[in-house]
Amino acid sequence: MSDERIGQRLIAGLGELGLELDDGQVGQLLAYLELLARWNRAYNLTAVDELPAMVDRHLLDSLSILPWITGEVIVDAGTGAGLPGVPLAIACPDRHFVLVDSNGKKVRFLRQVRRELGLDNIEPVQARLEEFVPETVPDEIVARALAPLPRLLAQLGRFIDDGARLLAMKGRLTPEECAAVGDAYNVDRIELKVPGADGVRSLAIVERQ
């Protein structure tokens, strides 16, 4: 598929999501995708390697939670190749995103993304989530297909107890998984409609009661 058709696919998907990004932001998203595809051939950063699928499953999926991002400082827990943090940072240049992953090659890739795209609002950090100590408590934590909610709370609950919100992106989210977090936390379940998504996509917003 040509670069032009990839761009058209992205713009059409943004329209379906009801999102308006300027030409510069669309260009940055496509540049990120190109860089990811190039590094992926050598470093296997993501199992998705076809550009049309990367538009749907990486860019549009990440941006589907944009309406629920309200904080100024957001941690992307287990960011991997920068998902959802990099697309969200491109869409929200006035917000600061701390991208945390324990994998060194992925963090090196994110540092290259910051340099090549001029994304001063991303901060790649190599750390295990259990050992991650930010300078300030984040307003929100995003996590994409990382772990069941109870395990996420075991890793990140200290931040939620201090007032942060957890936005966990998942496939099918069952009432049983939500109930397993315990009575100390409130879980809002939101069904996401992502263009080109395979199966159900859900967002769990977890806050301290």
Q: pLDDT tens digits, residue range 42-59? A: 888 898 888 889 999 999
pLDDT at 120: 97
Alpha-carbon distance 40 to 53, whole Å? 14
- The mean predicted confidence, pLDDT, of the chain is 94
What's the whole-number mean pLDDT along residues 78-107? 97
Q: How far apart are the first and last CA of the chain?
A: 48
What's the whole-number mean pLDDT along residues 101-129? 97
Pick the CATH number of 63-208 from 3.40.309.10, 3.90.1150.10, 3.40.50.150, 3.30.1330.60: 3.40.50.150
Question: Is residue 58 packed enough to be buried (19+ CB in 10 Å), middle (13-18) or exposed (0-12)?
Answer: buried
Q: What is the percentage of the chain residues whose pLDDT exceeds 70?
A: 99
**Is the confidence at residue 135, as pLDDT, over 90?**
no
SS3 content of the chain, % helix, strand, coil (to 5): 45, 20, 35
Bridge partners of 123, per DSSP, are 98
pLDDT at 2: 60
Read off the tokens for 170. 């998942």
What's the whole-number mean pLDDT along residues 132-137? 90
| Cβ atoms 141, 167 nearer than 8 A | yes
**Is the confidence at residue 136, as pLDDT, over 80?**
yes
Nearest CA to 91 out of 113, 114, 116, 121 is that of: 121
Note the pTM of the prediction, 2 decimals. Answer: 0.96
* 198: confidence class by pLDDT, cuts 50, 70, 90: confident
Bridge partners of 144, per DSSP, are 169
Distances (CA, A) of 40 to 18, 106, 168: 30, 10, 25
- Looking from the CA of 73 toward its CB, the CA atoms found within 13 Å total 11
